[in-house]
Amino acid sequence: MKGAALLLVLAACAPKLDLNGLPFGGGGGGGTTGGSGGPDGPTNPLDAPNEERVCLTTDARQLTFCQMTGAANLTVAFDGQMATTSDDGAFTIQLTNTIGEWIVTGTNIVTSQMPFSPSLQIPALSTNTYSDLTNSNGVVLSQGQGSIFVQITQNGGPLVNATVTASPAAQYATFYDGNNPTAWNSRSTGLYGVAWIPGLDAGSATVTVTPGTGMGSAVSVPGIAVGDGANTYVTIDIPPPL
């Protein structure tokens, strides 16, 4: 997963931050786990319990903005550990290792999956929000299929005009953020730098991001888990051109 950074999510009332909880362009490291989580983040995530958050968002283009209420009683699981969220999505879990997938389930959300990151907030969409998105784009998922949302960044901010493919191929072509929260386009990423790949068979997939002309080289990330009926969230950082 070279070149990939898994990023986190912050509240709607806060300045726009990257998914590591840092201002765009500041702090954090590269690599597959998103670095140390910034200057105030733990240097070793196993040293103590971490209070983290499930980010319930009403706009899949803006995974950095969370509702302050409505995320109570969601179940968060990681490597056999489980926790329940408070109304703002906060939870505390004792980490025993740093390898695995975070999984969030609940009555009124689409199951979320996210690879481990030491300082994290996990995006989640309500079933109503996701239904609006699928209906607006003519997507009907079958049993045994899931989706991947990819936040694409460069130099700490969203990357526009990038295209995304998956292997094995999804049932539907990749959709990209546009001017409307639910009516996405099929061309390339917009101002939010988000791609949505619906209709992937459960298992794992390789995601390849190709930047626009003059914006750098393509980056492929293998082994992204796809869950049956779940949304998987990853961020892929594109190194700037030399």
217: domain CATH number is 2.60.40.10
81-89 contacts: CB < 8 A, separation 24 or more? 85/53, 85/54, 88/53, 89/53, 89/54, 89/55, 89/56, 89/121, 89/124
- pLDDT tens sequence across 191-242: 999 999 999 999 999 999 999 999 999 999 999 999 999 999 999 999 999 8
- The Cα–Cα gap between 137 and 176 comes to 11
Is residue 236 within 8 A of residue 209, CB to CB? The reply is yes
Under DSSP, the state recorded for 204 is: E
pLDDT at position 146, please?
A: 98
Q: Among 208, 238, 203, 237, which residue's Cα sits nearest to residue 222?
A: 208
pLDDT at position 31, please?
A: 33
Which residues lie across from 77 on neighbouring strands? 82, 103
Buried b (16+ CB within 10 A) or exposed e, 153-176: bbeeebbbbbbbbbeeebebebbb
Q: Is residue 172 part of a domain?
A: yes
Q: Is residue 149 part of a domain?
A: yes
Q: Is residue 223 part of a domain?
A: yes
Question: How many structural domains compose the chain?
Answer: 1
Q: Is residue 59 part of a domain?
A: no
pLDDT at position 99, please?
A: 86
Omega of the bond leading into 168 within 30 degrees of 0 (cis): yes
Omega of the bond leading into 211 within 30 degrees of 0 (cis): no
| Secondary element (H or E) of residue 144 | none
pLDDT at position 98, please?
A: 82
- The Cα–Cα gap between 56 and 63 comes to 9
Q: Among 33, 37, 3, 4, which residue's Cα sits nearest to residue 18?
A: 37
- The Cα–Cα gap between 147 and 172 comes to 10
Q: Is residue 49 part of a domain?
A: no
Q: Is residue 201 part of a domain?
A: yes
Q: Is residue 104 part of a domain?
A: no
Q: In what order do the strands lie in the sheet with 219-226?
A: 163-167, 203-210, 219-226
Q: Is residue 26 part of a domain?
A: no
Is residue 41 within 8 A of residue 52, CB to CB? The reply is no
pLDDT at position 51, please?
A: 64
Q: What are the 10-residue block averages of pLDDT along the chain, 242 residues in total?
A: 36 34 33 31 44 92 91 95 95 86 96 83 96 97 97 95 98 96 96 98 98 96 97 96 88
Range of the domain at 194: 129-237
pLDDT at position 118, please?
A: 58
Number of H helices, E strands in the chain: 1, 15
Burial class of residue 231, CB neighbours in 10 A (0-12, 13-18, 19+): buried
